[in-house]
């Protein structure tokens, strides 16, 4: 992990430093147990006593936090945002390039020179993988799939044929993109499978949690809007169109052909019936069952 001085961190996160600029910082920790070379943050003035008692090298605080001459404070407009920026400094971002010797890559796949294909990964024909993208161990990338720049595809992710992934997407281990939608038609004496020949499109900056499944369309596409973030164990049915910056929490399930607007928040274990329209900015509480359309801004 990298080491910084408080002065360097202050410059990086846009903070006003009240303290010793040369103080070394080697990591971050919770306020209550931060050590003498660790940085932490205090979200509000209610944490004043904890900050005073802390042994931390420095504390990120908001503009309204009281001055403490005995503490090194990094003062920013938004303490939580400053905390996030500081975390990014200490996050391991080492990226690899090349193809592991155990990976199976089709001869006609187009892989950027600075992308990485990990151990036991399978990359089928006509796949395109952009600059800087990291394909983890055991990933399956089906034929005709396109992956943009600077994506991270975690171990054992499955991208079925024809899937499209934008730039800077993050897919956590075990996610499945583009499996068949759940479509059957009763034919006399059996449920007959309806072929699913569409695809899935993830726009830029989408994050998909571990073991989340996003089904391919029957025809056309299932589309996830830019900047949307899905937790683990989310299910999205075929032909759904989900807007930008949507949050969807664990075990939420969405039936096929739903239309969900931008900036919608869907809590854990929510069930949304198929062919439902959810307006922009809707908030849906945990374990809700949505069986009809919801107007923009509804809660």
Residues noted as catalytic: 238
| Contact status, residue 238 vs residue 183, Cβ threshold 8 Å | yes
Who's near 289: CB < 8 A, 6+ residues apart? 270, 271, 273
Crossing angle (nearest 10°) for helices 79-90 and 6-13: 120
CA 220 – CA 86 distance, rounded (Å): 42
**CB burial of residue 180 (10 Å; 0-12, 13-18, 19+):** middle
Who's near 291: CB < 8 A, 6+ residues apart? 273, 276
CA 216 – CA 200 distance, rounded (Å): 5
CA 122 – CA 12 distance, rounded (Å): 39
| Contact status, residue 42 vs residue 79, Cβ threshold 8 Å | yes
């Amino acid at each position: 992990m990298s080491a910084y001085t408080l002065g360097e961190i202050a410059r990086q996160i846009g903070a006003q430093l009240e303290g010793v600029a040369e103080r070394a910082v080697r990591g971050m920790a919770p306020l209550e147990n931060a050590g003498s070379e660790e940085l932490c943050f205090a979200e509000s003035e209610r944490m004043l006593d904890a900050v005073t008692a802390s042994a931390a090298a420095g504390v990120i605080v908001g503009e309204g936090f009281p001055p403490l001459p005995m503490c090194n404070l990094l003062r920013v407009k938004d303490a939580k945002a400053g905390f996030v920026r500081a975390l990014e400094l200490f996050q391991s971002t080492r990226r690899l390039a090349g193809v592991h010797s155990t990976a199976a890559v089709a001869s006609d796949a187009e892989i950027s020179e600075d992308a990485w294909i990990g151990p036991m990964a399978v990359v089928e024909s006509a796949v395109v993988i952009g600059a800087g993208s990291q394909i983890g161990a055991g990933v399956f990338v089906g034929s005709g799939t396109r992956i943009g720049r600077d994506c991270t595809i975690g171990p054992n992710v499955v991208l079925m044929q024809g899937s499209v992934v934008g730039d800077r997407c993050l897919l956590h281990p075990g996610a499945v993109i583009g499996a068949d939608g759940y479509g059957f038609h009763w034919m006399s004496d059996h449920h007959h499978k309806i072929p699913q020949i569409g695809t899935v499109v993830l726009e830029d900056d989408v994050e998909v949690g571990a073991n989340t499944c996003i089904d391919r369309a029957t025809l056309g596409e299932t589309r996830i809007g830019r900047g949307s973030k899905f937790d683990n164990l989310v299910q999205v049915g075929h032909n759904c169109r989900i807007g930008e910056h949507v949050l969807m929490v664990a075990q939420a399930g969405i039936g096929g052909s739903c239309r969900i607007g931008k900036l919608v928040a869907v809590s854990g274990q929510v069930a949304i019936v198929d062919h439902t329209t959810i307006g922009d900015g809707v908030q849906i509480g945990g374990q809700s069952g949505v069986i009809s359309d919801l107007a923009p801004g509804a809660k």
